[in-house]
C-alpha cells in the first residue's frame, strides 16, 4: 500500500479466494484490508490489467499469525485421493454399454425426443407445397431457377425428414 504503512501484503489471488481468506482471518481475530485495483479502475472509468489479482493486507503486528493461517488454508487438500476416487465411482453411470468388446465404455445417451405431431404436419405441408410449386415443370412451363432450386431443396429436406422419422420407428 504505502511505504510507511502499518499493513503488509500477505496474499494475492482471485477475489473469491481473498474474501474467503479475509473471513478466516476475521474468525481468528486478525483485521485485514482488501485492495482490488481492477474494481477501483472500473469504478473510476479506467481500464486495468486483468493479470493482477486482488491483494490482501494485514497489520504488521499480526503478520506471522496471518501467514500461518493463509498457508494452512491454501495448502491443505480438501479431499484425499481415496475420497476423490470414491466420489468418481459413485457418479459414474450404473449401466455402461460398449460399442465393441474391448473398447472403453461410452456414456449412455438419452433417446432423441420424438417429433411432435405439429412438426410432422409442418414437414408434410411444406413437402406438398414445394411439390405444388414445382408442378408446372411437369406441364412443360418454364420456371425461374431460384424457384426450382428453393422448392427442390425444401422438398428433398422435408421428404428426407419424414422418411427418416417413419423408418426409425
91 inside domain? no
Return d(Cα 129, Cα 126) in angstroms, integer: 5
Q: How many domains does the chain have?
A: 2
Place of cell 490489467: 49
pLDDT tens per residue across all 169 residues of the chain = 456 678 888 888 888 888 999 999 999 899 898 888 777 777 777 766 666 678 899 988 888 888 888 888 877 666 666 776 676 666 554 444 444 555 555 555 556 667 788 888 999 999 999 999 999 998 999 999 999 999 999 999 999 988 888 886 5
Q: What's the domain range around 48?
A: 7-75
DSSP 8-state symbol, 74: H
Residue where a domain terminates, one of 56, 75, 94 = 75
Are 70 and 122 part of one and the same domain?
no
Read off the C-alpha cell for 118. Answer: 405439429
Residues 6+ apart with CB under 8 A from 106: 96, 97, 98, 99
Are 121 and 63 part of one and the same domain?
no
Return d(Cα 54, Cα 17) in angstroms, integer: 9
Amino acid at each position: 500500500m504505502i511505504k510507511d504503512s502499518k499493513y503488509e501484503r500477505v496474499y494475492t489471488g482471485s477475489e473469491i479466494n481473498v474474501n474467503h481468506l479475509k473471513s478466516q482471518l476475521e474468525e481468528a481475530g486478525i483485521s485485514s484490508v482488501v485492495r482490488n485495483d481492477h474494481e477501483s479502475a472500473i469504478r473510476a472509468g479506467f481500464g486495468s490489467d486483468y493479470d493482477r489479482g486482488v491483494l490482501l493486507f494485514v497489520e504488521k503486528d499480526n503478520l506471522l499469525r496471518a501467514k500461518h493461517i493463509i498457508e494452512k488454508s491454501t495448502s491443505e487438500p480438501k479431499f484425499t485421493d481415496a475420497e476423490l476416487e470414491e466420489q468418481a465411482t459413485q457418479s459414474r453411470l450404473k449401466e455402461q454399454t460398449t460399442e465393441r468388446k474391448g473398447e472403453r465404455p461410452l456414456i449412455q445417451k438419452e433417446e432423441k425426443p420424438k417429433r411432435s405431431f405439429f412438426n410432422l404436419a409442418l414437414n408434410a405441408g411444406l413437402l406438398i407445397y414445394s411439390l405444388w410449386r414445382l408442378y408446372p415443370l411437369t406441364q412443360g412451363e418454364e420456371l425461374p431457377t431460384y424457384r426450382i432450386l428453393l422448392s427442390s431443396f425444401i422438398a428433398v429436406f422435408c421428404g428426407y425428414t419424414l422418411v427418416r422419422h417413419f423408418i426409425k420407428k
